[in-house]
Structure 1
Amino acid sequence: MDIKAQNYHDFSGLAALKKEAAQSPEEAAMPVARQFEALFVQMMLKSMRDTVPEGGLFSDSGQKMYQDMLDSQLSVSMSEHQGIGLAEVIAKQLARQQGVSESSSGELTATADSLRLQLRQARIQEMASGADMSSLER
């Protein structure tokens, strides 16, 4: 899948990504993760800019608007290239979750039942050995 929102205001790319994600979620994991990473980086840049005191010779309302636009585009460009590594982690996590959900629920239930049975048997043996010890102490 090669659907990218190359500009921060490219809503048609996001709509196409949503459509493709509905059809094949496995293939859409990485592009969706990249979009999330871009949003995260944009919020991080905005928070960083908020820590810098405002004012100065060239400060006006237009500068803030252009800085916001720059941060938005920068975040999309960063996530499309190397990024900060968040997209890869998210994509791996999504793939792992999809792998678990695709396995048969019968196998998972059987494994859980087996573990419960082993736990009960261990408790019974522990109680039995405790009872044997208490009878020896009398």
Structure 2
Amino acid sequence: MRIDDFDMAEPTALLHRKLQGAKENKDDEALKRVCQDFESIFLNIMLKEMQKTVPEDGFIEKGTGTKIFEEMYLEELSQEMARKDDGLGIAKMLYEQFKSENIIL
């Protein structure tokens, strides 16, 4: 799989490429992973927006390293949430929708 700078800046571009690969290879497991990746991206955006609502008290100053760590933590957390116990159910719903309408496979 080819990964370029655009894929790193725009995770949905990489997701689209994976979806096309699942379609071309008629790979059921790849489709499930793509749906989970979508849910992970959704959760990551949601968690970042939620974090913005937490007031910064100034007691401990946040440097660049802390901000990078928090972003990495939220990304890992969102991936774990999407894969554990069917996540929010978005991935399962997307997968079933794609399968029932034969959109992908």
Shared fold (TM-score, shorter chain, > 0.5): yes
Instruction: Give the structure with the larger helix fraction.
Output: 1
1:79 and 2:82 are equivalent in the alignment: yes
1:59 and 2:61 are equivalent in the alignment: yes
What corresponds to 2:5 in structure 1?
none
For 2:52, which of 35, 50, 53 is the aligned residue? 50
- The 2-side partners of 1:45 and 1:91 are apart by 23
Of all paired residues, the percent bearing the same amino acid is: 32
- The 2-side partners of 1:31 and 1:93 are apart by 15
- The 1-side partners of 2:35 and 2:54 are apart by 29
Residue correspondence of structure 1 range 111-122 to structure 2 within 5 A: none
What corresponds to 2:72 in structure 1?
69
Q: Offset of 1:20 from its aligned partner?
A: 4.9
Residue correspondence of structure 1 range 16-35 to structure 2 within 5 A: 18=18, 20-21=21-22, 22-35=24-37
Structure 1 gaps of 5+ residues are 1-8, 103-138
Number of corresponding residues: 89
Computing the radius of gyration from Cα coordinates, the structure with the larger value is: 1
Q: Structure 1 residues 98, 26: CA separation in 2 closer, same or farther (over 3 Å shift)?
A: farther
Residue correspondence of structure 1 range 4-19 to structure 2 within 5 A: 18=18
Cα pair 1:35 1:79 within 8 Å, conserved: yes
Cα pair 1:38 1:75 within 8 Å, conserved: yes
What corresponds to 1:39 in structure 2?
41
What corresponds to 2:3 in structure 1?
none
Cα pair 1:38 1:78 within 8 Å, conserved: yes
Q: Give the structure, 1 or 2, with the largest relative contact order (CA under 8 Å, sep 6 or more).
A: 2
TM-score w.r.t. the length of structure 2 is 0.69
- The 2-side partners of 1:69 and 1:39 are apart by 13
- Which contiguous aligned blocks of 4+ residues in structure 1 show a shift greater than 3 angstroms? none
- What letter corresponds to residue 93 of structure 1 in structure 2? Q
Structure 2 SS opposite 1:74: helix
